[in-house]
Structures are given as C-alpha cells and as structure tokens.
Amino acid sequence: QKEVEQDPGPLSVPEGAIVSLNCTYSNSAFQYFMWYRQYSRKGPELLMYTYSSGNKEDGRFTAQVDKSSKYISLFIRDSQPSDSATYLCAMSQGGGSEKLVFGKGTKLTVNP
Amino acid sequence: DTGVSQDPRHKITKRGQNVTFRCDPISEHNRLYWYRQTLGQGPEFLTYFQNEAQLEKSRLLSDRFSAERPKGSFSTLEIQRTEQGDSAMYLCASSPTGAKLFFGSGTQLSVL
C-alpha cells in the first residue's frame, strides 16, 4: 500500500464548476498537508498549506484535512480554464524530517 | 526573476555516462531539496540540505548519486554510470523554513 493515494483522473469539468480533489494516506504520523499545482513542464507551485486537521480557505480554494479518516480534500470554486493543471497532494511528518511524500497527481482540465 | 534556477533544462546522455545538474536556490533560503519525478507520478524525495550540511537522504539515492552544496548556496546533483531507469525530471526546491517549498522548473534527463 502506498503511503499516499490520489486518483490520477483525468478530470474534465466545464468552466464555473466546483472541483473536488482528494487524497487518502496511511501514515498517521503525517501532520503537515499541502496541495501543489503543476503546469506542464514546470515545477510544482504551492497552493495550500495546512497543519493538522481543519479547513483553510484562500480565495477560490478550500483545503480540508480529516486526520481521523486520513483523508484530505481540495475544493476549487468557480473553476477557470487557467486552473487546468495537475494537482498534487503532499504531506510530511515534521519532527526533524523534511521529506514530503506526494500523491501521483490529478490532471484537471477546465473547458471554456 | 529571483526564483529557483536549474541548469540545464534538458540533458540527453548515453547509458554509462556521468551527468551533473546545478541548482541555484532563492538567495537566503538555507534549505535545499532534490526530488525526482517520472511521468504520471508525483515527485519523490531524494535529499535535503540545511546550509551546506546534507541532513536527510532517501534510500532512492543509490551510491551512483551524489549531491553537494559546498558553500550553502548552489547545489549539484551528479549521477554516475547513468542507466535508462534514471530518465526522469530532477527537481530542486528551496525554502527558508521548510514549511513552503519553492520549486524550480527541473532538469529533464533522458538516458539513451
């Protein structure tokens, strides 16, 4: 079983739709949870960063962490064609380890 | 632009040759990371430096791989005796605190 599982999609939605992306994980020691966006031929770019359980909102993006279920989500409201990219979840234990464990990424296309 | 810079962007080499990649982090970021990403997968952690000290290494970093950060600024990643399985995107990231990583655009390695 991989430490982090993410449905690779692809996911195709019309412009303006609400997008839901999610990951599950098996390592209960993970404390820090992130979502990265990666455009083709580019490095990942951090979108959201959350410590422990709870919700965090930033503009059209909302990140949710449920540590009891080992499940994290990213919601994108009013999706735009410019949101078309691969979305990667990532997590780390902290406590001296700087290693991020990434999911495979979900490829999202937002159609005008 | 003062982002993370990686050189070269693309490298094609023959099996058995040695290759070296360079990463220039964002200035004053004391943390530097190397990750490897293959097609359809998320980045995989290779190693981490704090200043010039290499503090964490993945078991993925076989004895053919070596990374240095001699003066706590730029870093190099060398792969000796390349194999076809080494073909991947090699990503460098830097961070001032470890909480937020800034990635470069990567070096795409193709081993023929």
pLDDT for B46-99, tens place per residue?
A: 999 999 999 989 988 889 999 999 988 999 999 999 999 999 999 999 998 877
* Confidence band of B100 (pLDDT split at 50, 70, 90): confident
User: Cα–Cα distance between A20 and A42 in angstroms, integer?
Assistant: 23
User: What integer pLDDT is reported at residue B81 of this predicted model?
Assistant: 97
Distance from CA of A91 to the nearest CA of B (A): 11
The residue with tokens 């073909």 is B87
The residue ranges of DSSP E strands in chain A, in sequence order, are: 4-6, 11-14, 19-25, 32-38, 45-51, 54-58, 61-66, 71-76, 85-92, 101-102, 106-111
User: Cα–Cα distance between A58 and A40 in angstroms, integer?
Assistant: 23
Distance from CA of A62 to the nearest CA of B (A): 17
Q: Is the separation of the CB atoms in A92 and A30 below 8 Å?
A: yes
User: What integer pLDDT is reported at residue A98 of this predicted model?
Assistant: 79
Answer whether residue B102 shows pLDDT above 60. yes
Reduce the DSSP state of residue B54 to 3 states and report it: strand
Taking an 8 Å cut-off on Cβ atoms, the answer to whether A97 and B31 are in contact is no
Nearest to A32 by CA among A59, A67, A58, A68: A67
Which residues of chain A have a pLDDT value below 70?
A: none
How far from A73 is each of A63, A67, A82, B45, B80, CA to CA, in Å? 6, 11, 20, 22, 40
Closest residue to A43, CB basis, from B31, B45, B91: B91
Taking an 8 Å cut-off on Cβ atoms, the answer to whether A41 and B31 are in contact is no
Closest residue to B103, CB basis, from A6, A43, A105: A43
User: What integer pLDDT is reported at residue B89 of this predicted model?
Assistant: 97
User: What integer pLDDT is reported at residue B23 of this predicted model?
Assistant: 98
Provide the mean pLDDT of chain B. 93
B36 touches chain A (CB under 8 A): no
Answer whether residue B39 shows pLDDT above 70. yes
Taking an 8 Å cut-off on Cβ atoms, the answer to whether A99 and B56 are in contact is yes
Q: With beta carbons under 8 A apart, name residues in chain B contacting A44.
A: 43, 91, 101, 103
Closest residue to B42, CB basis, from A32, A42, A105: A105
Mean pLDDT of B23-43: 94
Answer whether residue B1 shows pLDDT above 60. no
Mean pLDDT of B29-36: 95
